Amino acid sequence: MRTQVAIIGGGPSGLLLSQLLHSAGIESVVLERRSRDYVLSRIRAGVLETGLVDLMHEAGVGDRMEREGFVHDGTLLANGNEQFRIDFKALTGRHVMVYGQTEVTRDLYEARDAAGGTVIHECRGVKPHDLDTAAPFVTFLHDGKVNRLDCDFVAGCDGYHGPSRQEIPTAERTEYEKTYPFGWLGVLSETPPVADELIYANSERGFALCSMRNDSLSRYYIQCDLSDSPDDWTDEMFWDELKRRIPEEAADRLVTGPSIEKSIAPLRSFVCEPMRWGRLFLCGDAAHIVPPTGAKGLNTAASDVHYLFNALRHFYHDRDDEGLEKYSETALARIWKTERFSWWFSSLMHRYPDQSGFDLRMQQAELAFLRDNEAAQKAMAESYVGLPY
């Protein structure tokens, strides 16, 4: 089998890259370890920056998102019982779109099918070879046979646990990591959202987030211990704890119901440098992770895809390899700024087990400064709606 770009991983990064390449007449094959149902059952991101919304349109998959997504012009920040709003529209002239990652992925799969694209599911032992030559290839097990996919380039879109990153020799790879001493317990419930916009809440009992997917589907998170398991939390315990962490007026309005999904995610900041080695290019979670405060993971994956797609397009259409040469540098420049924002917003909103009285005062002062200072709000809003590509 031969293609121009072999894409490892059929999550949002891999599928979006594949669909954009198709729109530019460039062939690709996507190799995914899981079944399609499994990929579509993962509940993850919910907030899309304008850059990702534009990319979805560029890939020809924006129609359902335009119809069913929700434009949010601001977000609410709560500190105990106090609450203030960051007005994205007034501060930046821009907004974000609430549309689930599951829906993004579904739209991309459907578009790949409609275009006759090749996505091979349930591939095992995916392994790239000869990445430092002009003729790389990928081997994988599928339907009980070893297959070989020859290609010009390999895109490593296989997430944090995928094998692509490990192909960069350790002597040439630097990994930067910060783990946080807590996780997020998330619940999805078929109930109307508590507010029209997201509420990020800092409370004495820890962080909470009220988010949503649509008018009748809500997504809530609370900061929890890393040693907790979702089974430790009955629905009743979850709702009780959430109510104690958000402003009273919101708690009074909160409609509760049975959870239809409950999971715990640890929080991590991580960056791998470089993002390119020979003919291998890393995209998305394969190269970097942000803590979810600020909703940047999927959006950062999208900016990588934008840079890589344009670099490949120039290579194939204009025989210009400058974008490929500079891919790692260009992508990382934006990633580090987004890492900073996600780290800052996480530090501002969570309670840390070892937080001193002074640390707590600093957090409170930072929140008061943000509430009262328009320049600080503008800086926050610019990162939240998404830095330019």
Question: Could you give the residue numbers annotated as active site?
Answer: 72, 200, 292, 296, 384
Q: β-strand 259-273 against 174-189: which pairing, if any?
A: antiparallel
Q: Which is nearer to ligand PHB, 112 or 219 (CB)?
A: 219
**Shortest reach from residue 234's CB to ligand RFL, in Å:** 20
Q: How many chain residues bind ligand PHB (CB under 6 A)?
A: 11
Q: Residue 72, interface with ligand PHB (CB under 6 A)? A: no
| Sign of CA pseudo-dihedral 74, 79, 216, 112 | positive
By the 10 Å C-beta count (0-12 exposed, 13-18 middle, 19+ buried), 93 is classed as exposed
Q: Residue 52, interface with ligand PHB (CB under 6 A)? A: no
Q: Which is nearer to ligand PHB, 127 or 337 (CB)?
A: 337
Q: How many CB atoms lie under 10 A from the CB of residue 374? A: 12
Which residues between 101 and 160 bind ligand PHB (CB under 6 A)?
none
Residues paired with 322 in a beta bridge: none
Q: Which is nearer to ligand RFL, 123 or 168 (CB)?
A: 123
Provide the strand spans (E) within 203-317: 208-214, 217-224, 259-273, 276-277, 280-282, 288-289
Helix (H) or strand (E) holding 146: strand 145-150
**Shortest reach from residue 76's CB to ligand PHB, in Å:** 12
Q: Which string of x and - marks every residue 199-238 that binds ligand PHB (by CB under 6 A)?
A: ----------x-x-------x-------------------
Q: Residue 350, interface with ligand PHB (CB under 6 A)? A: no
In the three-class reduction of DSSP (H, G, I as helix; E, B as strand; rest coil), residue 231 is classed as helix
Is the CB of residue 151 less than 8 Å from the CB of residue 220?
no
Is the CB of residue 345 less than 8 Å from the CB of residue 294?
yes
Helix ranges (H only) for 32-186 are 36-41, 50-58, 63-68, 88-92, 101-114
Edge to edge, the sheet with strand 74-79 lists 82-87, 74-79, 199-202, 208-214, 217-224, 174-189, 259-273, 288-289
Q: Which string of x and - marks every residue 154-183 that binds ligand RFL (by CB under 6 A)?
A: ---xxx--xx--------------------
**Shortest reach from residue 306's CB to ligand RFL, in Å:** 13
**Shortest reach from residue 211's CB to ligand PHB, in Å:** 3
Which single residue is written with the structure tokens 């692509």? 164
Residue 33 interaction partner, one of ligand RFL, ligand PHB, none, beta carbon < 5-8 Å per kind: ligand RFL
Q: Which string of x and - marks every residue 116-145 that binds ligand RFL (by CB under 6 A)?
A: -------x--x-------------------
Structure-block tokens of residue 261: 């999904």
Residue 51 interaction partner, one of ligand RFL, ligand PHB, none, beta carbon < 5-8 Å per kind: none
Amino acid type, 306:
H
Q: Residue 46, interface with ligand PHB (CB under 6 A)? A: yes
Residue 18 interaction partner, one of ligand PHB, ligand RFL, none, beta carbon < 5-8 Å per kind: none
**Shortest reach from residue 212's CB to ligand RFL, in Å:** 11
**Shortest reach from residue 207's CB to ligand PHB, in Å:** 10
Q: Which of 6, 20, 21, 47 binds ligand RFL (CB under 6 A)?
A: 47
By the 10 Å C-beta count (0-12 exposed, 13-18 middle, 19+ buried), 86 is classed as buried
Which single residue is written with the structure tokens 């009992």? 205
DSSP 289-307: E--STTS-HHHHHHHHHHH
CA-to-CA separations, 109 to 14, 128, 307, 337, in angstroms, rounded: 11, 24, 21, 30
Residue 339 interaction partner, one of ligand PHB, ligand RFL, none, beta carbon < 5-8 Å per kind: none
Q: Which is nearer to ligand RFL, 83 or 139 (CB)?
A: 139
Q: Residue 106, interface with ligand RFL (CB under 6 A)? A: no
Q: Which is nearer to ligand PHB, 25 or 266 (CB)?
A: 266
Q: Which of 8, 131, 155, 331 binds ligand RFL (CB under 6 A)?
A: 8
Footprint of ligand PHB (CB under 6 A): 45-47, 198, 209, 211, 219, 292-295
Footprint of ligand RFL (CB under 6 A): 8-14, 31-34, 39, 44-47, 101, 123, 126, 157-159, 162-163, 184, 186, 265, 284-285, 292, 295-299, 301
